[in-house]
Amino acid sequence: MDRQIALEILLKYKQDNSYLNLTLNSYLQNDDLTRRQKDFITRVVYGTVQNLIFLEYILKPHLQGRVKSFEKMLLLMSLYQHFMMDAIPDYAIINEAVNLAKKKKGMRTAQFINAVLKKAFACSYSLEHLELQERLSIETSHPLWMVKMFVKQYGFETAKKICYANNETPYKCARVNTLMTTRDALLEDPAWEKGQLSKEGVYYNKGNIANSEAFQKGLVTIQDESSQLVAPLLNPLPGEYVLDMCCAPGTKTSHLAALMKNQGCIKAFDLYPHKIPLVEKQMERLGITIVELEAADSTQLAHRYPDNSFDKILLDAPCSGLGVLARKPEIKYHPADAMDEIIQIQEKLLENAYPLLKNGGNIVYSTCTINKKENEKQIAAFIKKHPDMLMIKELTILPYQYHSDGFYMCLLEKE
């Protein structure tokens, strides 16, 4: 049953080109599954997608011609179990795969799966003959264009650390809601541990944070530690008028409100109307009342408000997501040219933020990517266009440095 569910999730993800975590979570709502089963399914699903390029490289010599998606995905997830899950004996992996194939497609497909897996498990492989960047691409299942980009921007050794960190299991990380409790009070519960990067960061050492009592009571919200540095960088004060241009899912919005002690006003916008109720629910759970939410295109906001309207602006911009590949491995397989359109949107958002900011006010521009074209180069071009914008602080966190998401943030001040 475990493997059948894992296979269904992988096929649905591939067919719908959907977000892996949403597809997985919809299946894990099944109360008949034990914690152990859920953990196994999660590991197989994420592990297979995370290691897709490596697994396809291993599988390719054993296939002739085109293979249907059911058979191919079953082979890939079986190879993942063989190479990355040492506790499972090969005969068990093959038996389970053969039974799944027989049940779904019949004896002929089952025989094909059996033959391919036995050959693949028996063969040794080597990447030693490959050029360094190609080897890193296959070893860590990052597309070659991405490896080359990381090497160009950060050098080979740092690129290697980034790629390996992207395949590690992220911490279960949350931020303490200081409107309701303190970190010290929360840490009295042994299920929580102190974070290492943020003053309000905590790690959870049990199951799903969303199922914890602390989450349900609004004492914490799920947020990676590097992301928790963004709102304090903007440093919104109680009573200020703040703009959050791209607010969903509301995590940073709620952090701004907590820093403001729930006093003042945050105008929060998101492009997608269906996300607004989710943000509202989040604010309600955390006891936040100063956020005014609206669905709107923030690349048009400069036409809606007078110049110099806001004390502070958070622009947590849409981006390629190359800092969160450990949590969303499917992003690795997005086309390279998808970034070109995103860079133009980021530029429009910055141009809309500029007139809305008061003189002496601050903007924080942040992304969950480590691509310098979307970060340092984007900000350099913005400052060149607007010399009255001063860079106060710029910070890039790479995924391997704190076992956190990769993140970029920049604090700007308008003279």
- The residue from 163, 173, 319, 368 that is catalytic is 368
Q: Where are the alpha helices (H) located in 298-396, listed in sequence order?
A: 338-356, 376-385
Rounded Cα distance between 405 and 230, Å, is: 13
Please check whether residue 287 is in contact with residue 179, taking contact to mean a CB–CB distance below 8 angstroms. Answer: yes
Domains and CATH numbers, the chain: 2-122 (1.10.940.10), 132-165 (no CATH), 228-414 (3.40.50.150)
The label of the residue with tokens 């990447």 reads 127
Alpha-carbon distance of 312 to 365, in angstroms, equals: 11
Active site residue 368: yes
CA angle 250, 254, 258 (to 5 degrees): 175
> Under DSSP, is residue 390 helix (H, G, I), strand (E, B) or coil?
strand
To which H or E segment does residue 366 belong?
A: strand 357-367
| Torsion angle of C-alpha atoms 97, 98, 102, 106, degrees rounded to 10 | 120
The per-residue pLDDT for 27 is 86
What pLDDT score does 36 carry?
86
Closest CA to 407 of 377, 364, 367: 367
- Residue 45 CA to residue 220 CA, distance in Å, equals 27
Determine if residue 360 is left, alpha or beta; phi over 0 gives left, psi from -120 to 50 gives alpha, anything else beta.
left
**The predicted structure's pLDDT at residue 16:** 77
Residue 135 CB-density burial (10 A; 0-12 exposed, 13-18 middle, 19+ buried): middle
Q: Is 301 exposed, middle or buried (0-12, 13-18, 19+ CB in 10 A)?
A: buried
Query: Cα–Cα distance between 223 and 211 in angstroms, integer?
Result: 15
Per-residue pLDDT of the chain (415 residues; tens, 9 = 90+): 789 999 999 999 888 777 788 888 888 887 788 888 888 999 999 999 999 999 999 999 998 888 889 999 999 999 999 999 888 888 999 999 999 999 988 999 899 999 999 999 988 888 999 999 999 999 999 999 999 999 999 999 999 999 999 999 999 999 999 999 999 999 999 999 999 999 999 999 988 899 999 999 999 999 999 999 999 999 999 999 999 999 999 999 999 999 999 999 999 999 999 999 999 999 999 999 999 999 999 999 999 999 999 999 999 999 999 999 999 999 999 988 888 899 999 999 999 999 999 999 999 999 999 999 999 999 999 999 999 999 999 999 999 999 999 999 999 999 9
Q: What's the token pair of residue 73? A: 């995905």
Decide: helix, strand or coil at residue 239.
coil
pLDDT of residue 98: 93
